[in-house]
């Protein structure tokens, strides 16, 4: 099976520290990891929720994708990430099926993952992320 299920849901936030406190209270569990992802210009905070995770995303640059997302749409769900067995194989399959990829090769993302995003115009306006554990 190519897609292994939802890996995480990304939520854009203005302030990571206050959002971590809010989600710790909401979920009744602690943030297990905070990580800076320079390539995406974000600070991230992760929560485990059953088999999937919640990833909070705070911009580190006023011109970043997350900052622009918050300016346009406000805080909230930014993307849904799916775990895949072989990211390059999935990128090729999806590209050939007409989906628009936002990068030609996988990039290093948070939580030791290789990632690639699909343009929302090809996925009913939902930003989809493919992710695979880096080996």
Q: What mean pLDDT is reported for the chain?
A: 95
Predicted TM-score (pTM) of the model is: 0.92
pLDDT tens, 1-39?
578 899 999 999 999 999 999 999 999 999 999 999 998
pLDDT tens, 49-103?
999 999 999 999 999 999 999 999 999 999 999 999 999 999 999 999 999 999 9
Do the beta carbons of residue 19 and residue 13 sit within 8 Å? yes
Token digits of residue 42: 């974000």
Using DSSP's 3-state secondary structure scheme, residue 27 falls into: helix
Token digits of residue 5: 């299920």
Using DSSP's 3-state secondary structure scheme, residue 115 falls into: strand
pLDDT at 86: 94
Angstrom distance (rounded) from CA 121 to CA 91: 16
pLDDT at 1: 57
């Amino acid at each position: 099976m190519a897609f292994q299920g939802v890996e995480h849901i990304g939520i854009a936030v203005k302030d990571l520290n206050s959002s971590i406190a809010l989600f710790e209270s909401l979920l009744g569990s602690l943030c297990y990891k905070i990580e800076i992802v320079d390539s995406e210009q974000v600070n991230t905070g992760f929560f485990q929720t059953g088999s999937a995770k919640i990833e909070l995303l705070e911009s580190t640059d006023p011109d970043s994708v997350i900052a622009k997302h918050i300016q346009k749409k406000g805080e909230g769900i930014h993307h849904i990430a799916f775990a895949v067995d072989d990211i390059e194989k999935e990128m090729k399959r999806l590209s050939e099926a007409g989906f628009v990829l936002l990068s030609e090769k996988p990039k290093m993302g948070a939580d030791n993952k290789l990632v690639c995003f699909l343009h929302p115009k090809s996925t009913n306006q939902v930003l989809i992320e493919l992710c695979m554990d880096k080996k």
